[in-house]
Amino acid sequence: MDESVGVLDGLWMWLEALPLSARIGESAWFPFLESIHVVASTFLFGSILMLDLRLLGRASVSHRISRIVAEIVPWTLAAALLAVLTGFPLFSTRATHYAHNIAFQIKIVLLLLAATNMLWYHLRTARTIASWDTAPKPISAARFAGMCSVFMWIGVMLSGRWVGHLL
Ligand code: HEM
């Protein structure tokens, strides 16, 4: 547990003192929201893994990458939105505790890295996709993006799991 007093601690204390945060933390809303958070996170992870395995040339190699992206990424983004919409109320119940929770800190850093990796792939690497869209083994930049994504999202899931187990 990180004992330092952060600049945002005033904000976290304000957030957790809100009547709604207390209501969620002291009722069945917490396990209900956490259950949806777990389902959304698992759906997000599973759908991203399908694309990453294609980028690594390990699955669906007979399908064009652009088609897999077009059919899967909208679902991934919907699951991510649901994970954020359920994660924030969970966080608000004990904001100061979670903000200083090392597993939560690692999860948020990995989430930001995974989002950056995804954006870099879609905005930079995929610019040349026309030349490798059907290739069973895509270009090294695409494979690298796929590999980074797999490890970062495994890290998000594992650190997320640990959040509730660190006092
Ligand atoms: C968008 C991607 C996200 C993924 C994939 C994700 C994944 C997870 C996972 C797997 C857990 C463990 C659940 C369990 O097994 O009990 C978890 C817990 C948690 N997540 Fe997330 N999460 C995401 C975003 C967020 C965000 C944006 C927040 C808050 C701002 C958040 C707040 C929390 C909290 C507070 C817990 C711990 C609840 C407890 O005390 O048990 N999550 N998350």
CA angle 50, 154, 42 (to 5 degrees): 60
* Counted domains in the chain: 1
Cβ–ligand 1 distance for 91 under 6 Å, the answer: yes
Residue 5's pLDDT is what? 62
Cβ–ligand 1 distance for 161 under 6 Å, the answer: yes
Q: pLDDT digit string (tens) for 42-56?
A: 999 999 999 999 999
Give CA–CA dist 33/29, Å, rounded. 6
CA angle 83, 89, 90 (to 5 degrees): 80
Residue 107's pLDDT is what? 98
From ligand 1's centre to the CA of 37, what distance in Å? 6
Q: pLDDT digit string (tens) for 22-73?
A: 999 999 999 999 999 999 999 999 999 999 999 999 999 999 999 999 999 9
DSSP 137: S
Name the residue range of residue 77's domain.
Answer: 3-163
Label residues 5-14 b or e (16+ Cβ within 10 Å = b): eeeeeeebee
pLDDT-based confidence at residue 164 (cuts at 50, 70, 90): confident
